Amino acid sequence: MSADTYDANDPALESWVASANDPAGDFPIQNLPFGRFRREDDAAWCIGVAIGDQVLDLRKAGLIDNADINRLIRLKPQTRQALRQAISEGLRHGSPHRTKFEAALVPQRDVTLGVPCDIRDYTDFYVGIHHATAIGKQFRPDNPLLPNYKWVPIGYHGRASTIVASGTAFHRPVGQTRAPDAAEPAVGPSARLDIELELGIVIGRPNAMGVPIRIGEAEEHVFGVTLFNDWSARDIQGWEYQPLGPFLSKNFASTISPWMVTLDALEPFRKPLVRPDGDPRPLPYLDSADNAARGAFDIQLEVVLQTARMAKAGHAGDTISRSNFAEAAYWTIAQLVAHHTVNGCALQAGDLFGSGTLSGPRPDQAGSLLELTLGGKQALTLSNGERRTYLQDGDTIILRGYCERPGFRRIGFGECKGTVLSAPG
Name the residues annotated as catalytic.
131
Instruction: Return the range that interacts with Ca ion (CB under 5 A); candidates 122-130, 284-292, 336-344, 417-425.
Output: 122-130
Nearer to Ca ion, 16 or 247 (CB): 247
Between 51 and 320, whose beta carbon lies closer to Ca ion?
A: 320
The smaller minimum CB distance to Ca ion, of residues 86 and 236, is found at 236
Q: Which residue is nearest to Ca ion (CB)?
A: 230
Only one of the segments 147-155, 189-197, 288-296, 316-324 lies at the binding site for Ca ion (rule: CB under 5 A); that segment is 189-197
Cβ of residue 279: shortest distance to Ca ion, in angstroms? 23
Of 93-101, 203-211, 228-236, 341-349: span binding Ca ion (CB under 5 A): 228-236
Of 92-100, 226-234, 291-299, 312-320: span binding Ca ion (CB under 5 A): 226-234
Nearer to Ca ion, 14 or 198 (CB): 198
Query: How near is the Cβ of 111 to Ca ion at its closest, in Å?
Result: 29
HEC string for the chain: CCCCCCCCCCCCCCECCHHHHCCCCCCCCCCCCEEEEECCCCCCCEEEEEECCEEEECCCCCCCCCCCHHHHHCCCHHHHHHHHHHHHHHHECCCCCHHHHHCCEEEHHHCEECCCCCCCCEEEECCEHHHHHHHHHHHCCCCCCCCCCCCCCCEEEECCCCEEECCCEEECCEEEECCCCCCCCEEEECCCEECCEEEEEEECCCCCCCCCCCHHHHHHHEEEEEEEECCEEHHHHHHHCCCCCCCCCCCCCEEECCCEEEHHHHHHHEECCCCCCCCCCCCHHHCCHHHHHHCEECCEEEEEEECHHHHHCCCCCEEEEEEEHHHHECCCHHHHHHHHHCCCCCCCCCCEEECCCCCCCCHHHCCCHHHHCCCCCCCEECCCCCEECCCCCCCEEEEEEEECCCCCCCEEEEEEEEEEECCCC
Segment lying near Ca ion (by CB under 5 A), choices 135-143, 227-235, 257-265, 275-283: 227-235
Residue 247 C-beta: closest distance to Ca ion, Å:
13
Closer to Ca ion by Cβ: residue 84 or 131: 131
Smallest distance from the beta carbon of 368 to Ca ion, in angstroms? 9
Q: Judged by CB under 5 A, which of 121, 124, 351, 395 binds Ca ion?
A: 124
| Distance in Å, CB of 359 to Ca ion, minimum | 12
**Binding to Ca ion (CB under 5 A): which residues in 230-289?**
230
- Closest separation in Å from C-beta 93 to Ca ion: 42
Q: 259 or 353: whose CB is closer to Ca ion?
A: 353
Told to check if 371 binds Ca ion by CB under 5 A, we report no
Considering beta carbons, is residue 124 or 318 the nearer one to Ca ion? Answer: 124
Among 89, 121, 194, 196, binds Ca ion (CB under 5 A): 196
Total binding residues toward Ca ion, as defined by CB under 5 A: 3
Q: How far is the CB of 357 from Ca ion (least distance, A)?
A: 6
d(CA 229, CA 376): 19
The CA distances from residue 373 to 238, 302, 308, 338, in Å, are 16, 17, 20, 35
Residues at the site binding Ca ion, with contacts judged by CB under 5 A = 124, 196, 230
